[in-house]
Each structure stands twice: as C-alpha cells, then as structure tokens.
C-alpha cells in the first residue's frame, strides 16, 4: 500500500487566496472538483512545482517536494502532467511524441511503450502526424507521453474540457482502463460531475480556494451537509460484483453491501466488479412491501438522514439492508409525499430503483 499524498498550501494571489489541506490515496483517481475559478488548477501547479506557494507542504510517497524551506524544482518531481490542450510536437509523428520524454536508461518497473500503446489504443496511429489526428486521439497521445516519462504521480488538468462530446465519449473508456490497469496515483481536475462519477475513487470539493470536503466518493456524495446533495442530478456511485447471469432472461445480478441489483445482461464474468451510478430521482420509497411491478429492483433500507432543498423537496439518505449498514443511496421526494408516508430518520423502508446506470468495469 502506497502512503497517501499529503497537500497543505497557503498563498495570497492578489484578489484570490488559497488555503487548502487534504490527503489523496497513494493509488487510484482523486478528483479535485469545483466551479471554475475555485483554485483547482492552482493546486495542481503547486503540486507540480510550477508555482511556489508561500506556505506549503507537498509530500508524495513520503518524499517531500515542498516543506519548510525546501522546494524541489519541476525537474526533480517525477510527475506526468496532462493539460487541457494536447500540445504535441508538430515535427514528430505519434511514436516520436510518445518517446520524447522517456528516460534514457530504463528501469525494471518502467511502463513499456508497447503496453502504453495498447492501453490507449494507439497502435493504428503510431506513424501518423499530429495534424491528422482528432482531438480525442491527440489527447490520448498526450496522456501516453506523460505516462512514458515514468512518473510517480499523474496530474490531469481538465483533459476533456477542450473536446467535443463525441471525443469525450471516445476517450473516457481509455481513462477508465488506465484506472483499472495502473497502480499510479492520479489527481484529476474537473468541474464536470459526470467525469468524477465515472473515474474517481476519492473526491476533494474545492470552493473559493478552500477545501469544503474530502473523502471516498460515496461518502461525500451522500453527506447531507455538503452541496452535492442539493444538485438536481444528485446521485451515488458504488462498486458492485457480478454474482449471477441469467441468459434466458438477459439479466445480470450484481451484489453490493446490503443488497443486490438486477440489470440487463452485461459483459463481464462472475466476481468481476462494475461501477454503478444511481440517481436520487430514480429511487422511490414505500412503507410496505410494494406489489409486483415492472420495477425489478426492490430492496430494504433504513433512513439515515435527510435534507430539505429550496424547491419544496427532501433528499433522503438511505443505508441498504434492514439495519441500514450497507451502501448508501439517495432518494428525492416531495415534502407532500414525505409527510403523507410519515417518513422519519431511523425508519425502515422499502426502496424501488427505477434505473441503475452502469459506469464501467472495475
């Protein structure tokens, strides 16, 4: 288990002040999420050594990059940095761009070129000129170049922001593949919750240069004290394990802590994990066992907490299972329905889930 990445930064940037402190796991994707102008890119630049905060601590794998009077310059920090724009070398083909930053002497645990090419689907592009590539292809090459520099930490600054929706949809599966195959920690800046839901394991919420929350995805998504609960498209993501496949009905059964879900037949083998997204608007509640219906997913849960919204609705935090100790869900209900059913914190309820979105394999 790699030690966590420890970040503490404080700086006055004219009309903007930065004062953040958080830890990121030593493996997986940590998303820095918040509105434009909240300080996410500044944090990334501080980690990279492109900006020196007046007071700060950046420690990666117990290796201090900035602490007290010590400040390691960029070239002494083993990072890969992926910007919004790919910025490839026009005079080099794809192979030349990929190998440009590779160390002169390879180490036994270095990522080989062939593996990166396979991970990012670049085999058919290897001899092409950057000018002939689509936006998504260019960004995949930029990611490959960053990986082949053999970093200990990969920093990604809104890598999909400059792409159209088709290009984003093209590149997201490759980013998921990197998450699954590599042990390299990634700090990923975005203001798009859809990217966070598909990629992140850990999330740091940034607002006006401050950290307002940090923790595992599901925990932060379902915290009633945090602003994510108030979003119209509030949801939770979770990992589910395939436990059965019924080919006669075209159904797959997925297990999570506290219950199981039936979803349309999906690729994957028994015991393989997949990421699920369940929107609060797709969850309904009942006090008694619902009659049989076309909604296949009916589970027991307990109301753990709730929050009133500004539009006369209530977002309910649920724990799956009779005692509520399982995975958390959110349900958005009207105040009328909440009062009519006499719902309350601590109450055991039946949950019907209209739709379960599959976000990708894990």
Band of pLDDT at residue 362, cut at 50, 70 and 90:
low
pLDDT at 361: 54
- % residues pLDDT > 90 (the chain): 70
- On the 0-12 / 13-18 / 19+ scale of CB atoms within 10 A, 112 is exposed
- pLDDT tens sequence across 104-142: 777 878 889 999 999 999 999 999 999 999 999 999 999
Residue 158 in this model has a pLDDT that exceeds 60: yes
pLDDT bucket at 157, cuts 50 / 70 / 90: very high
Helix or strand (DSSP H, E) at 299 = strand 297-308
pLDDT score of 26: 93
Q: Give the mean model confidence (pLDDT) for residues 87-112.
A: 88
pLDDT band at 30 (very low <50, low <70, confident <90, very high): very high
Provide the phi-psi class of 187: left if phi over 0, else alpha when psi is between -120 and 50, else beta: beta
Q: Mean pLDDT of all residues in the chain?
A: 91
pLDDT (average), residues 150-177: 91
Q: What is the pLDDT of residue 205?
A: 96
For the residues 27-42, what does the mean pLDDT come to? Answer: 94
- pTM of the entire predicted model: 0.90
How high is the pLDDT of residue 14? 81
Whether the pLDDT of residue 359 is over 70: the answer is no
Question: Minimal CA–CA distance to 233: which of 198, 194, 195, 207?
Answer: 194
CATH 3.40.50.300 intervals, the chain: 5-221
Mean pLDDT for 183-187 is 93
Which of the two residues, 293 and 41, has the higher pLDDT score?
41
H-type alpha helices, the chain:
40-48, 94-99, 113-119, 135-148, 165-181, 193-199, 217-221, 335-340
Cβ-contact 199, 122 below 8 angstroms: no
Catalogue the long-range contacts made by 315-320 (C-beta closer than 8 Å, 24 or more residues apart). Answer: 315/224, 315/229, 315/230, 315/234, 315/280, 316/285, 316/343, 317/222, 317/224, 317/229, 318/283, 318/285, 318/349, 318/351, 319/258, 320/256, 320/257, 320/258, 320/259, 320/351
- Asked if pLDDT for residue 9 goes beyond 80, the answer is yes
Using one digit for the tens of pLDDT, what is the confidence trace for 322-348?
999 999 999 999 999 999 999 999 999
Q: What is the CATH number of domain 235-361?
A: 2.40.50.100
| Model confidence at 286: pLDDT above 70 | yes
Question: Where exactly does CATH 2.40.50.100 map onto the chain?
Answer: 235-361
Nearest to 148 by CA among 88, 115, 101, 93: 101
- What CATH code would you report for 5-221? 3.40.50.300
DSSP codes of every residue in 232-281: TT-EEEEEEEEEEEETTTTEEEEEETTEEEEEE--S--TT-EEEEEEEGG
What pLDDT does residue 159 have? 93
For residue 181, pLDDT over 90 is answered with: no
């Amino acid at each position: 288990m790699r030690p966590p990445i420890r970040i503490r930064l404080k700086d006055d940037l004219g009309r903007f002040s930065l004062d953040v402190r958080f830890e990121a796991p030593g493996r997986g994707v940590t998303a820095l999420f918040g509105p434009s102008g909240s300080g996410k890119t500044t944090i990334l630049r501080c980690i990279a050594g492109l900006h020196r905060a007046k007071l700060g601590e950046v420690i990666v794998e117990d290796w201090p990059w900035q602490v007290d009077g010590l400040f390691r310059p960029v070239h002494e920090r083993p990072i890969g940095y992926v910007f919004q724009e790919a910025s490839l070398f026009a005079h080099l083909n794809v192979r030349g761009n990929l190998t440009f930053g590779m160390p002169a002497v390879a180490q036994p645990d270095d990522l080989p070129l062939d593996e990166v090419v396979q991970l990012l689907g670049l085999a058919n592009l290897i001899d092409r000129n950057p000018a002939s590539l689509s936006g998504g292809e260019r960004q995949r090459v930029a990611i490959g170049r960053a990986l082949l520099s053999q970093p200990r930490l990969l920093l990604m600054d809104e890598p999909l922001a400059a792409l159209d929706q088709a290009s984003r949809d093209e590149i997201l599966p490759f980013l998921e593949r990197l998450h699954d195959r590599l042990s390299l920690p990634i700090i990923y800046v975005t203001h798009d919750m859809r990217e966070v839901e598909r990629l992140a394991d850990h999330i740091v919420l940034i607002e006006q240069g401050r950290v307002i929350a940090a923790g595992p995805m599901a925990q932060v998504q379902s915290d009633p004290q945090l602003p994510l609960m108030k979003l119209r498209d509030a949801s939770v993501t979770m990992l589910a394990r395939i436990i059965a496949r019924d080919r006669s009905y075209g159904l797959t059964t997925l297990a999570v802590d506290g219950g199981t879900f039936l979803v349309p037949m999906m690729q994957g083998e028994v015991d393989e994990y997949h990421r699920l997204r369940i929107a609060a608007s797709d969850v309904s509640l009942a006090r008694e066992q619902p009659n049989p219906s076309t909604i296949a997913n009916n589970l027991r849960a307990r109301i753990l907490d709730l929050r009133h919204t500004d539009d006369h609705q209530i977002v309910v935090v649920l724990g799956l299972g009779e005692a509520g100790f399982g995975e958390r869900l959110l349900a958005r209900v009207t105040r009328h329905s909440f009062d009519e059913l006499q719902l309350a914190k601590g109450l055991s309820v039946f949950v019907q889930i209209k739709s379960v979105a599959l976000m990708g394999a894990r």
